[in-house]
Amino acid sequence: MYNPVNMQIEDEKRLLEKDLRDKNKKRRFEVRYVADDLTKEEGEAEKLRLEHMALKRKSFKHTEQEVQRGFNILTNGELPVGLALIRDNKQTYLKKPE
């Protein structure tokens, strides 16, 4: 190995093996940190996506009067698609959250 007192290499082969082990250990840790960073970035992106979706979501209170009325007061026609859902040829409206 290496003698720090007289600063000479005594066993060069062992020293190279030890250096190689240390480099491989560092490489393993680097891979782990890269994977952790990637997971963190994906989690933050998902959090932002869900937050954006929540901000775009319509609240029942904003449309409560229109839903109770059952028609669009301006056009005297059907409610917009966001409020009226058509399923099995039946029109259902935005429901109050339970």
pLDDT of residue 97: 58
Separation between Cα atoms, residue 33 and residue 66, nearest integer Å: 53
In angstroms, the Cα distances linking 3 to 19, 54, 79, 82 are: 15, 64, 86, 78
61 or 13: which leads in pLDDT: 13
The average confidence (pLDDT) of the chain is 78
Nearest of 64, 54, 73, 69 to residue 94 by alpha carbon: 64
- Prediction pTM value: 0.43
pLDDT of residue 45: 96
Per-residue pLDDT of 36-71, as tens digits, reads 999 999 999 999 999 988 777 766 676 677 767 777
